[in-house]
Structure 1
Amino acid sequence: MSLEKIAVTAEIDNGLDSPVSGHFGHCRAFIVTTVRDGEIVQVESVPNEAHSSCADPVNRLVGLGVNVLITLGMGMRPYMAAQQVGLAVVRGGGATVGDAIQTYLAGRGEMMGSDGLCSGGGAHQ
């Protein structure tokens, strides 16, 4: 049995129908899904609380058992924090959280590399 916890950055808190947020640090919420054998079995929303360190949201997600993060963009510091704790970062594919998860589960997710990082402006498309 395969089990993954996948978090997707969201513009609003509307579950799988939420639009994917353009930037990790500025998202309104993380939609966290539990996927068992390729099927979504649980969906929860985790607010992106105010944070003093770029690593805070990364550590919070890892503390929830998340092992994959899907986002359209993020800065170098949270990306490095994710790398240090073994959190896989995937560039979002799809307009909604549900679309992004299905793209990832279909094997079409692109791992984010340092070439895809931003300087923190939050205006990814």
Structure 2
Amino acid sequence: MKICFPVEEDGGLDSPIYGHFGSAPGFVTFDTDTQRTGFINNRNAVHEHGACNPAAALAGAGVDAVIVGGIGHGAMLRLMDGGVSVYQAKDGAVKMDAENFMQNRLTKLGGNENLCGGGTHSCGH
């Protein structure tokens, strides 16, 4: 399974998870079967709320799940509609939350949560 984390820069497993999924400069991917990491540049990152298009950056990457600190409702629904599961980060670091994911210790989001601008997380947008 390939999981994806929004990050500011590619630090592999040592990367901290970026606060807002859509405007993250890039995404670290982690394959739970091979234990290999990769990096996807988010050329579509913009810093205006509602103008982000992370789905375009992830298209064709074979991502099965994303682990986020914050995410807008629309982005969450687009990912879920595309068959990508969305999970709430627990520790805020790729290495720790990859382990949390593999040990089933993360909360899977259902689409009704508000993780951007209030609710359980404020991403600043």
Are 1:115 and 2:113 matched, yes or no?
yes
Question: Under a length normalisation based on structure 2, what TM-score does the superposition of the two structures give?
Answer: 0.81
Structure with the larger RCO, 1 or 2 (CA within 8 Å, 6+ apart): 1
Is the contact between residue 26 and residue 122 of structure 1 (CA under 8 Å) also seen in structure 2? Answer: no
Figure out how many residues of one structure are paired with residues of the other and give that number. 117
Query: Offset of 1:79 from its aligned partner?
Result: 0.9
Partner of residue 73, structure 2: 76
Q: CA RMSD in A?
A: 2.3
AA of the residue aligned to 1:48: N
**1:43-82 correspondence runs (5 A):** 43-50=37-44, 54=52, 56-82=53-79
What is the TM-score when the length of structure 1 is the normalising length? 0.81
Partner amino acid, structure 2, of 1:46:
I
Q: Indicate the percent of aligned positions where both proteins have the same amino acid.
A: 28
Q: Secondary structure of 1:25's match?
A: coil
Residues 110 and 62 of structure 1: CA distance in aligned 2, closer, same or farther (over 3 Å): farther
Q: Which has the higher strand share?
A: 1
Return the offset for 1:59: 4.3
Q: CA offsets per residue over residues 8-58 of structure 1, 9 Å max, x none?
A: 11132211101111110121210011111xx61x1111111125864x422
Unaligned runs of 5+ in 1: none
Which 5+ residue runs of structure 2 have no aligned equivalent? none
Check the 8 A contact 1:5/1:32 in 2, yes or no.
Answer: yes
Secondary structure, in 3 states, of the residue corresponding to 1:45? strand
The structure whose residues are more often helix, as a share, is 1
1:15 aligns with 2:9: no
> Is the partner of 1:107 in helix, strand or coil?
coil
| Match in the other structure for 1:34 | 31
Structure 2 CA distance, aligned partners of 1:116 and 1:86?
20
